[in-house]
Structures are given as C-alpha cells and as structure tokens.
Structure 1
Amino acid sequence: MKKITQIALLFLLVYGNTFAQQEKGIIGYDNWLNPWTEFKPNKVDYGKPTQILSGDITRDTKLYKGDVYLLLGDVFVTDSTTLTIEPGTVIIGDFVTKGSLTISNGSKIVANGTHTDPIVFTSGRSLKKPGDWGGVFILGDAPTNKFGNEDALNYGLTPSDAKDISYGGDNIDSYSGIMNYVRIEFAGKRTRDYGYFNGLTLAGVGQQTVIGNIMVSYCEGNSFNILGGDVNLEKLVSYKASSNDYEFNYGAQCKILNSLAIRSPYASGAEVSRCINALAYDKKEAADFSKKQTNIQAENLTLVNISDDLNYDIKIGLVNEAIYIGADTSFTIDNSVISGFNPAVILDNKIKINSENLERIGFTRTYFNNCKGNIFIKYNTNNEDLENWYGNRAFNNVYSKGPDAETFIDLKNSKRPDFRLRINRIFAANDDLEDND
C-alpha cells in the first residue's frame, strides 16, 4: 500500500510539473505543431498543376487530393455555393496572374484537412518568395462597426458582380464553413494601388465558422487579417510574416486561443510590423460608435522574435513591439508568452491612462521575457504608471531575461520546433535588456 501511495504521489508531482509547464503560452501535452506544419516550405516539391480554377465557381464543387490545382487570377465562389477540399489537396496560386480565392458572402468553404494530411495553398515557383500569389478571402454577414454594417473588400479584385466582394450584416452566427489543418505559404502579393494582400482574410465571419489549425508562412502582407465579424480562432501559426501576424479591425469580436506568432527581424518589411495589431478603425469618422468596437480576448498565445543578436538588432531598429493597441479597442491577454521585443506592448497615444481604459486593456498571468521594456504609451518614454499597474501582484505577470534555448523546449529544431515553455524555467527578473548605446 505504501509503495502504491508513493507511486501515486510521484505521478501527481510529474503531472503537476507538466501542467505548470503548459500553463503559459501555447499548450498541449504533445507538440501540436507535429506533423502538419512545415517550416521549410521552399524545400517542398508540390508537383505541377493538373487542373485550373478560374473565374466564378457557381455550383457545389469538390477538389481532390489526386490533383494539383492552379488558381488562375481572381477566383470567386459565389451564388451560395460550397467549395469542398479533400485532405491533402494542393492548390497553387499563379504568379503571373497573382491568383487568389474568395469565398463570397453566402457561400462556404469546407477545407477540413487532417494533422497527417493538411490542405496546402502555396506558390508554384521553383524559387518561392513572399508575395508570389494573392491569398484567401472568406466573407460573411456578421456585424462590423461600419455605418450600415456592410463594406466591401478593397484589394483590386475583379469580381463579375460587386456583391461578391461585400461583407458584413447582422448575423453573429454567420457560417462560412470550415478551415482546419490548412497551410498558406508565400501569399501576400503587392498591388500598386491597394497595398498587400494577406494570407487569410476573414471579413464579417461569424461564430459558427470553424477556423483552427492554420499555418500562414512567409506572407508579404498580414498572415491573418480579421475585419469585423465575431469569430473564434484556435491553434493558428504565423511564421516569418513580412507584415503583421494578426491584424484586427472594424469592430472585430474575436477570441484567439492557443496560437503562435514567430517573427524574424530579418524577414520583416520596411514598415513597422507586429505580432498583433489591434485597431477599431482606420479613420474614426468611419466608425459607428453605437455598435461594438474591436474586442480581442487572447489566451495562451506565444509571441516570439527569433534573433541571432537581439541587443544589436534592437539597436539598429530591426525589432518592434509585439502588440499595438489602438484607441477605442478592448484587448485582454492571459497566460501568454511575449519574448524578444522592443518593447512588449505599445498603446496608442490617444488612449488616456485612467481606470476606465485600463479595465478594457488587460495583461494577466503573462510571461514577459527578453523585452526591452514592457508596456508603453506611444511617444512616451516614461511608463512608470503602466509598470506599477500591470506589475501589481494581482495580475500575476512575470518578467524575465531567459535565453530562448532555456525558455522554449526546442526552438532551434529547424524541422520540428517546439515552442512550448520548458518545465520550471520561469523566473522573475526586473532588469530590461542591456542598453548597448
């Protein structure tokens, strides 16, 4: 009996330590990145296209694993049609015509891959680069904060009917389909008049839509762009985006759980880019304040900047903040990891530091590691008020200077990295990174 009790106690100790390790940042008793993600997509030969997708898809259509599909120009799924994609299917965005796929409002996509057989959207070039093709747009009729609720995409798309690029409405439960175990690689084409496309744009997408286990890698635009809507996101991965990893705007109501952003100072574009860019609007006069403004609830995120020499990269201006929060935006993050940024968070200078605003912007049980400063107001180098507020023990935040090798389980593994926290490696530290001026 005594021996059984000792074994039970040992099990509880090990289980408890494992749970503690899983507490902050991405969670899972196994590395859920395996085996469906790909961190070297430029090394993969996906084969040559055997089928072409172009123009409008106006009747229910299924894409099969046995074929490789080419998105030729702007492809639209319209007329309440469902596009079903079999697990393991490869869809290539054409470089010359900058192929893209738009699921119009009222239509659906069912791209339900598996962890061993993901669906892949990628470049067909032999030398793949960010921006080789357009991206994927999913449009629904969930609310935005625009006057009249409805809006239209503005990326220079050429639909046969203007309604095919409209989104927004009153349907919180809007269902646009399923995207699960999907990779989107080398998207984000640049247009002369409309800027960059994004890897995956969700515009007016509602709660019944299933979005999970999606990896966007090497995107020239934002990896994930959420415009309005009311959507839950889980197990998303953004890898080495040139622009923002996750952008929220136009009154988006969003829960994002157990997700990852991996930035590189050597892959970012010329403009300031972040892991999270949370805005309520582009122009305040365009927002209807009788409606809900952007509200982001984040939990168990890992936001990490991978640098060969972090102090030097910060000094020469290659590293930005991890999170930017705009005026009139509500944002909370819990049980998360923010590692290697300059600083961790910046709040828009239009946000007044008072109890009302601080109740809308919450940082709790979060691990700030290797950041040159934590939370600041834009253009203000004195953050004493914010440090005192978010440093209060009630919020249970942790500040550290741990090196990546000791912070994450296996960050250096080029094929199968593991970005979960190491067991018992969290320790408190009050110092910022060295200032090597």
Structure 2
Amino acid sequence: MKRNLLLLAVICNFCFASYAQSGLGISEKENWLGYWTEFNPKKEDYRDPQKILTGVISQNTTLSNRDTYLLQGNVYITNNAVLTIEPGTLLRGDSKTCGTLIITKGAKIMAEGSESFPIVFTSNNDEYSRKPGDWGGIVVMGDAPVSGFGGMSVLNYDLEPQYNRFGGENAAGSAGVLKHIRVEYAGRKSATKRQIAGITFAGVGSGTVIEGIQVSYSDNDSFEFYGGNVKAQKLVSFRAADDDFDFTQGVQAEFSNSIALRHPFSSNPGNPRCMEVKSYNEIEKFDPQRSKTNVKATNITLVNVEDNKQGLIKEAVYVSNEANLSLSNSVVYGFRDFLMLDKYPMMDEFEKFIKLKNLVVGHCTNIFSSMNGERLGLDTDYITSKNGIETSDGLINDYFKTPDFSITPDFRYLKIQRNSSNVVLNNK
C-alpha cells in the first residue's frame, strides 16, 4: 500500500512539474487579466450619461463614480489643472462629435482605478451597436524630450493650436497616474482624416504611472508613444485595427509584462503590427543630435489568436532604421514574420540596433524579413542559437494556459519540461 501511494505521489509530482514556470511572456505568478479586463464589451449594459464634459477645464476637477460622463467634442484639461477620476467611474465618448479627452502639457490626470473598480472609457452608442472608431480616445501630453528640433513637437489631431504642443527637457516629469483603466471602441478619424489612437502618450516623463490599461477594438493604434521617457507595464491591446504598441519620435521606453492579442479580421489593410519601433514619422522634423527611439521590452506576449488564411496576418514586430529595440523573455505566436527590419543587411548593423534574448517564436513562417523584400545578410541559425531564441510549431493551446475568450483568458506561457531521470521507489 505504501509503495503504491509513493508511486502515485511521484507520478503526480511529475505531472505538475511538467508544466513549469518559464520566466517567459507575461507574469506567471498570477493571471492578472482577471477582474478588471473585458474581452466582450458589446455585452456590457453601461449606464446612460448624466453629465456632459465639453470645452476647456482649467481648474482642478474630480469626477465621481456616482455619475456617468459624456465626452463631447475635444475636452481639454489646461492651465496646470488636475483631473481626478474616482475608481469605478464611467466615461462615454460621444460618437457625433468625436469625443476626446486631452490632457495638455502641464496638466495632469489622476485616474487610478482598481481591479474591482476599473475606470472605463467607452462608446456612447447602445449595446450591440458599438463599433471601432465610435469616438476619439485619450491624449496625454508632457514636457519630456522628443526627437524634434528643440526637443518639442506638435500633435496633429485637429487640436486647438495653443494646446497641441508637447515635449521639453524634463525626462522625469509626471503627467499623472493611469492605472486599471479600459478604453473601448476609440480610434475615430478627426476632421482632417487623422486617426486618433486609443490612448496617446506624447512627451510624458518617467514620473507618469502607466500600468494596467486595456485598449480594445481601437480603429487605429491601441497605444501610441511620441517621444518622452516612458515606463509602462501590464498593458493589454485587444483586436486593434492598426498597431498595438507604436513607439516613435525618440521615445525612451521601459516596457514590460504586457500583451497584444491580434485578430486577423480586425486588422486594417495597411501595415498593422503588434510593435512598431521608429525614430521619426517625418525625417525633416527629426533632429539627429537627439536621442533615437530606444525600447527596452521584457516579458512581452504577442499573439495572433486565430489561425486561418483569410484575414491579415503580417509581421509581429517592425523596427525602422536608426531605432533601437531590446526584446527579452518574451513569447511571439502565430505571425507570418517575427521581426521585420527596414534596411539592416549586415550582421554588425543588426547587432548594433537589435538586442534579442530568451525568446519563444512559435508558429511563425519566417524569423526575420526586410521591408523592401531584399535578402538579409543575417545568419539566422547563429542569431537564434547565440541569443536563446527557440523556434517551434503547434496549436495555440500548446503554448498558453487558457486562450479562450468565452471566459477570462489566461495567456501565461506553458513550458513543458520532460524529466528523463529514473524514478527510484522506496520499498520499505
């Protein structure tokens, strides 16, 4: 009897140990996608707005979770004012006027929700009629450096001229706190057809808290970073039409423990990617004497959630010339290309700008590709072996714990470890 119990215990320990923590992808200690996230926002029966926010808010203002607010047109927080939003507050963007919340340079937003009471920004359209691009989004501007001349730049979102400037020399500046927030159905085109991202950070400093934000069904990028000195973690992009995470204009970013969940039928016909890393959008406005974009990303998970040949499945990551990316301890699954480069034909150029370490690249057709289709002068086997890049193939269920959106999904990476040692039983 004792022998049988011991054998059963050994077998159980082996089974549990076979799915071991790997240290790759989003944090494995807990499924932090629970509670505050929502992957089917159409079914949510949100309260009707009771108060309207419009025009310019130039004094410290607190939004109560007892009320629901309608963002009507461009709503500017100005004059170094602080907008405080209580946990559990609901704000609905007006689709007729492209409701957009704009935190201007010098002002702050203090929006700290909780796992139980997230702050929600969503469409004002009725249940089941909401769609991507129903309203504008959130714009947060600060006084940290960008790669434009003078360390400054202008945001071309049809904003009032006195409110569209961002950047400066305050790398440690704070534009406030954004934590446990959902942004749904944003990304509307403005009057000049310039699309607004779900949430835009323009020249914000490292003192800005950016943690626990989900952007879903944006009709443009989910997250856009224009310059600044950014620290961000626990970001979730779900079914974006364009990029999930867009870094440009010299942003210095520490980016960790975040996930992009792409769907091929949500992508637009352009160049949608999980991560796009560039040093500038317009070269004539780029100051080569200033810092180039440098993204240090760790424990990132990038997933194409549906395996078919009908929708748009492109590259997971794109890095342009003179931009830097360090990507480590991460998992990429289900794309045509893992990493598309602009024009890095030689190994020394690649290793100067791109740092890769401890990655799983699963179910991707190509590891590297070039924007212009030219053959890259890279030794792929050497790069993967040297940097601990594991390539493999399989179904999505082989890689993640619970990739099921009918319940709370769990995209923690499964690493199967085989124990080949002999089992020795105690016969006493």
* TM-score (normalised: structure 1): 0.89
Is 1:44 equivalent to 2:68 in the alignment? Answer: no
2:289 maps to: 290
Residue 76 of structure 1, CA deviation: 0.4
1:253 maps to: 252
Take 1:13 and 1:294, find their aligned partners in 2: how far apart are those partners? 46
The answer as to whether partners of 2:148 and 2:285 remain within 8 angstroms in 1 is yes
2:3 maps to: none
Take 1:200 and 1:326, find their aligned partners in 2: how far apart are those partners? 22
Distance 1:54 1:424, change over 3 A: same
The answer as to whether partners of 1:376 and 1:386 remain within 8 angstroms in 2 is no
The answer as to whether partners of 1:179 and 1:210 remain within 8 angstroms in 2 is yes
Q: Counterpart amino acid of 2:82?
A: T
The answer as to whether partners of 1:143 and 1:170 remain within 8 angstroms in 2 is yes
Residue 10 of structure 1, CA deviation: 11
SS of the residue 2:303 aligns to: strand
Take 1:130 and 1:425, find their aligned partners in 2: how far apart are those partners? 41
The answer as to whether partners of 2:156 and 2:194 remain within 8 angstroms in 1 is no
Q: Counterpart amino acid of 2:380?
A: E
2:333 maps to: 339
Take 1:269 and 1:62, find their aligned partners in 2: how far apart are those partners? 37
1:99 maps to: 99
1:135 maps to: 137
The answer as to whether partners of 1:21 and 1:424 remain within 8 angstroms in 2 is no
Is 1:377 equivalent to 2:379 in the alignment? Answer: no
Which range is displaced more, 188-197 or 321-330? Answer: 188-197
Could you say which structure has the larger radius of gyration? 2
Root-mean-square deviation over aligned CA pairs: 2.2
* Aligned mate of 2:407, from 393, 407, 415: 415
Which range is displaced more, 162-171 or 49-58? Answer: 162-171
Q: Counterpart amino acid of 2:291?
A: K
Take 2:84 and 2:123, find their aligned partners in 1: how far apart are those partners? 21
The 5 Å alignment of 1:105-254 reads 105-126=105-126, 127-158=129-160, 162-254=161-253
Distance 1:381 1:340, change over 3 A: farther
Q: How many residues align?
A: 409
Take 2:140 and 2:43, find their aligned partners in 1: how far apart are those partners? 28
The answer as to whether partners of 1:174 and 1:206 remain within 8 angstroms in 2 is yes
The answer as to whether partners of 1:156 and 1:194 remain within 8 angstroms in 2 is no
Distance 1:115 1:220, change over 3 A: same
Take 1:66 and 1:236, find their aligned partners in 2: how far apart are those partners? 27
* Aligned mate of 2:314, from 288, 310, 320: 320
Take 2:254 and 2:345, find their aligned partners in 1: how far apart are those partners? 25
Take 1:14 and 1:290, find their aligned partners in 2: how far apart are those partners? 56
Is 1:402 equivalent to 2:394 in the alignment? Answer: yes
The answer as to whether partners of 1:251 and 1:280 remain within 8 angstroms in 2 is yes
Take 1:356 and 1:342, find their aligned partners in 2: how far apart are those partners? 23
* TM-score (normalised: structure 2): 0.91
Which 4+ residue blocks in structure 1 deviate beyond 6 angstroms? Answer: 9-18
Take 1:16 and 1:79, find their aligned partners in 2: how far apart are those partners? 57
The answer as to whether partners of 2:158 and 2:191 remain within 8 angstroms in 1 is no
Take 2:53 and 2:417, find their aligned partners in 1: how far apart are those partners? 50
Q: Counterpart amino acid of 1:338?
A: V
SS of the residue 2:21 aligns to: helix
Distance 1:353 1:76, change over 3 A: same
Q: Deviations over 1:231-268 (max 9, x none)?
A: 10100000000010000110010011000000010011
The 5 Å alignment of 1:256-295 reads 256-295=255-294
SS of the residue 1:405 aligns to: helix
Distance 1:339 1:425, change over 3 A: farther
Take 2:414 and 2:347, find their aligned partners in 1: how far apart are those partners? 37
Residue 149 of structure 1, CA deviation: 1.2
Which range is displaced more, 375-384 or 399-408? Answer: 375-384
1:362 maps to: 355
Residue 133 of structure 1, CA deviation: 0.3
1:430 maps to: none
Q: Counterpart amino acid of 1:164?
A: Y
Can you give the 5+ residue segments of structure 2 that lack an aligned partner in the other structure?
1-9, 419-428
Take 2:216 and 2:334, find their aligned partners in 1: how far apart are those partners? 20
Residue 16 of structure 1, CA deviation: 7.5
Distance 1:148 1:381, change over 3 A: closer
Take 1:15 and 1:205, find their aligned partners in 2: how far apart are those partners? 44
Take 1:17 and 1:251, find their aligned partners in 2: how far apart are those partners? 43
The answer as to whether partners of 2:345 and 2:376 remain within 8 angstroms in 1 is no
Residue 192 of structure 1, CA deviation: 4.9
The answer as to whether partners of 2:121 and 2:184 remain within 8 angstroms in 1 is yes
Take 1:306 and 1:129, find their aligned partners in 2: how far apart are those partners? 20
Distance 1:32 1:192, change over 3 A: same
Take 2:36 and 2:16, find their aligned partners in 1: how far apart are those partners? 27
Take 1:229 and 1:110, find their aligned partners in 2: how far apart are those partners? 19
The answer as to whether partners of 1:22 and 1:420 remain within 8 angstroms in 2 is no
Residue 380 of structure 1, CA deviation: 3.2
Distance 1:332 1:15, change over 3 A: farther
Take 2:87 and 2:40, find their aligned partners in 1: how far apart are those partners? 20
